[in-house]
Amino acid sequence: MDIQIEHFPLKFIRPAGTSRGVMNIKNSWFITISHSGIEGKGEISIIEGLSKEWTSKTEFEGTIFSFIHDLKKIISKNDSLPRWNELLDLIPNLAAYPSILFGLETALLDWENGGESIIFNNAFSRGEQKIPINGLIWMGDEHDMLSQIDDKLQSGFTTLKMKVGAIDFKKEHAILKSIRSRYSSKDITLRVDANGAFNSSIVHDRLNRLSELDLHSIEQPIAPGQFELMANLCAKNLVPLALDEELIGVHSTAEKIQLLEHIRPPFIILKPSLHGGIIGTKEWIELAEDRKIDWWMTSALESNIGLNAICQFVGEYLTELPQGLGTGSLYENNVPSALKVQDGHIFIS
């Protein structure tokens, strides 16, 4: 048995702008577990400034190797690899490191399924199912964002997700208004993602303005941790709200229930690398569905290794909502993959 870790900095083809700043490089680590002639691969994906477990590259890599050491001891003691869903029972403190947990879960699932990049054996992984996805519009100047929008529409996307909160709001509003003047909500579904950019003094005004545009939803309009304000915004429902960053760092079942029942959001957005790995994300889905809260899954800017795992994970559920899984074309050095995006859907070709 062998476990290898490879640091793999992903290089954006074009700078990726959000309200938290511009990214040119995104850190990832690939895990390869080799046993009995089979290799299973997973990915640890970190977004600096968002992933709570991140401090520095040196310290984070030390944490990865510490968990690998723990895993090797468990394997040596039992003379076998653990099942993917046993990891938190065997190494409970992994719960606080969802990116590492997701990488290990994926590597073990790949190994369990023969090392052929099959994470879940379902219609998607067999190439029988296509998943609808949104086209992502990154922040930039007005001309750049309009150009991105035209490209996505020409590529067959009918759901667009636009980042807001970094350039002048009047310009962002004008861009959205321009799209809506050309395409009704029956033609194009518009989502926006504020990444917590609006403070309490302006958020009501911003949502009032956005409510004119027949949007599907807005992700995380305010910074996480403002539970009363978020609950108030959800109750007013000027624009349907989707929680994203709000879920980061919430690990226990009791905390998840308290958050969902207090805020009562229409939607939650799930990233396994941020929201508890596969096991934690499954629990979020179960708790949300019990409370009639809809959800969709997105990539935490993984390479094709992590993206493939998330797509197959989504394939375990019957959901018609477009997912946030169109990130495979972001990098100039992405790894080869059987994933293909066409006409607003992702599938295995």
Residue given tokens 């609006």 in the structure block:
198
- Assess contact for 264 and 290: CB atoms under 8 A: no
The DSSP annotation for 77-112 comes to HHTSPPPGGGHHHHSGGGGG-HHHHHHHHHHHHHHH
Q: Which of 11, 271, 282, 340 is catalytic?
A: 271
Q: What is the distance between the alpha carbons of residues 238 and 226, in angstroms, rounded to a whole number?
A: 18
In sequence order, what are the residues at sequence separation of 6 or more whose Cβ sits closer than 8 angstroms to the Cβ of residue 291? Answer: 260, 261, 264
- Residues 172 and 18: beta-carbon distance below 8 Å: no
Please, how many CA atoms are within 13 Å of residue 67, restricted to the half-sphere of its CB?
26
Q: Name the residue with tokens 């990130």.
A: 327
Dihedral in degrees, nearest 10, Cα atoms 294, 249, 88, 123: 30
Distances (CA, A) of 41 to 228, 273, 310: 42, 15, 13
The residues pairing with 41 across neighbouring beta strands, listed in sequence order, are 32
Query: Tell me, what amino acid is at 307?
Result: L
User: Is 163 a residue of the active site?
Assistant: yes
CA–CA gap between residue 35 and residue 37 (Å, rounded): 5
CA atoms of 39 and 30, how far apart (whole Å)? 12
Closest CA relative to residue 219, chosen from 284, 153, 165: 165
- Would you call 161 a catalytic residue per the annotation? no
Specify the pairing of strand 294-297 against strand 339-342.
Answer: unpaired
Catalytic residue among 130, 163, 170, 171: 163
For residues 297 and 252, what is the distance between their CA atoms, to the nearest angstrom? 20
Q: Which residue has the tokens 């477009």?
A: 322
| Catalytic positions, written as ranges | 163, 271
